[in-house]
Amino acid sequence: MTHDFTANEMMTIAAARALTNEDVCFVGIGAPSAACNVARLTHAPDITLIYESGTVGTKPDVLPLSIGDGELCDTALFTVSVPEMFRYWLQGGRITTGFLGGAQIDKFANLNTTVVGPYSHPKVRLPGGGGAPEIASNCGRIFITMALSKRGFVEKLSFITSMGHGEGGDGEGGHGEGGDHRARLGMKTSGPTRVVTDLCILEPDPQTRELTVTSIHKGVTREQIQENCGWPVKFAAQIVETPIPTDTELSVLRDINARTRKAHEAA
């Protein structure tokens, strides 16, 4: 087993491990796509990957630049229209897992991909939500992967694009009106259950729903995590060290990244 890997490789592989053969997974572009395809090429060959453009059971040889990448349709079992994908598959409760990223996230795993700063006069205008708000609401559970930084992990979002746990649940940090915020809004899905970063893994507290560090990557300190998080981060009573990538996991990730670079440079 090698010890020569980057923080980004650790993040992608740790995220991939969260998936299983039984998952029907709605895949976001970027880091989520890399993690989902590493899972497919290693321990979860029977996973069903679905992209927003309507491709079902896709098995790309290179990572897509966007949901409209022809590689997705070429390698899919079949492709349906976008309205069918959202109404029948997603809103119909047929997708077990959504895998998302974002520009910003808060301590209750709400995501912002819309604006930084006031909505009418933003400092930065981001790409927008796309299908992420519906994915966050309708998939059985949500995994999120993002590099940990104070710029991305913020105390208060300028705009909530995709609902995580809203204002939390009962107890410290919760809303105080009883129960989980998602349930009060009528959402029947679990929402974000894991946030994988380049330094650690966070999971929502069972009561408050506040993100709590449950696993720390090898060589990372608690101080590093706090220095890169925009709120006073909480640590679970029992924390494990994230297993380092195996040679197979690294080889698969590096191979697909190399194929992707070559294909995009050729284009």
Instruction: Catalogue the long-range contacts made by 166-170 (C-beta closer than 8 Å, 24 or more residues apart).
Output: 166/108, 166/110, 167/108, 168/108, 168/208, 168/209, 168/210, 169/207, 169/208, 169/209, 170/207, 170/208
Q: Which of 188, 108, 144, 199 is nearest to 27 (CA)?
A: 144
Cα–Cα distance, 62 to 259 (Å, whole number): 6
Beta bridge partners of residue 142, listed in sequence order:
98, 192
- For residue 229, give both structure tokens: 């998080």
Residues marked as catalytic: 52
58 SS3 class: coil
The CA–CA distances, whole Å, from 234 to 167, 207, 221 equal: 16, 14, 14
Classify strands 211-217 and 200-204 as parallel, antiparallel or unpaired: antiparallel
Cα–Cα distance, 147 to 222 (Å, whole number): 16
Instruction: Catalogue the long-range contacts made by 123-130 (C-beta closer than 8 Å, 24 or more residues apart).
Output: 128/161, 129/161, 129/162, 130/52, 130/67
